[in-house]
């Protein structure tokens, strides 16, 4: 029990993050400014240095160095050049959430709890026409989640036979 993870997909919440807002509030984006950043908790001992230039900063991590550009309110992901609010450190790289492959924990919490999923499906179902294709698909999902719930109840409270 206890520390068991419901999924082996890397979660956003578990990875060190460097957010635009945090950089800004620390004054780390003023050209010439050098700031050392440390992480504790999930990444004890992780240390990087940012060196700001006009329009971005160099991110030094051990022997690696990567230029990260900024836009008003955004960081530019060094891997895909997409705009993002924060970079995640995962798999030895600093990238946006999508490039990191990490997913928010909440996605998985809902995915793995059939009661929550049932409620979500019912909410969606209440918004689509009964005869629509989408409605048929949602009713199919509902039957499936009901089967999952039945199996879970059976596993917990004992079913017929076994």
Give the residues lining the site for Zn ion (CB under 5 A). Answer: 77, 79-80, 82, 95-96, 99
Query: Please, which residue, 99 or 121, has the CB nearer to Zn ion?
Result: 99
Q: Which is nearer to Zn ion, 68 or 121 (CB)?
A: 68
Q: How far is the CB of 63 from Zn ion (least distance, A)?
A: 22
Nearest approach in angstroms of CB 89 to Zn ion is 13
Q: How far is the CB of 112 from Zn ion (least distance, A)?
A: 27
Strand-pair category, 56-61 with 64-71: antiparallel
* Least distance in angstroms from the C-beta of 96 to Zn ion: 3
Residue number with CB closer to Zn ion (86 or 114): 86
- Measured from the CB atom, the residue of 1 and 81 that comes closer to Zn ion is 81
């Amino acid at each position: 029990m206890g520390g068991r993870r419901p999924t082996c997909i890397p979660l956003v919440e578990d990875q060190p993050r460097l957010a635009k807002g945090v950089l800004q509030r620390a004054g780390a984006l003023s050209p010439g400014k050098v700031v050392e950043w440390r992480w504790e908790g999930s990444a004890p001992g992780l240390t990087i240095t940012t060196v700001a230039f006009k329009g971005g900063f160099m991110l030094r991590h051990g022997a690696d160095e990567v230029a990260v550009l900024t836009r008003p309110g955004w960081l530019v992901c060094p891997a895909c050049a997409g705009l993002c609010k924060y970079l995640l450190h995962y798999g030895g790289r600093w990238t946006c959430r999508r490039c990191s492959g990490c997913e928010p924990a909440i996605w998985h919490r809902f995915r793995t709890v059939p009661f929550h999923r049932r409620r979500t499906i019912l909410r969606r179902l209440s918004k689509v026409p009964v005869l629509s294709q989408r409605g048929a698909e949602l009713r199919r999902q509902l039957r499936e989640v009901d089967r999952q719930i039945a199996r879970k109840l059976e596993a917990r409270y004992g079913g017929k036979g076994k």
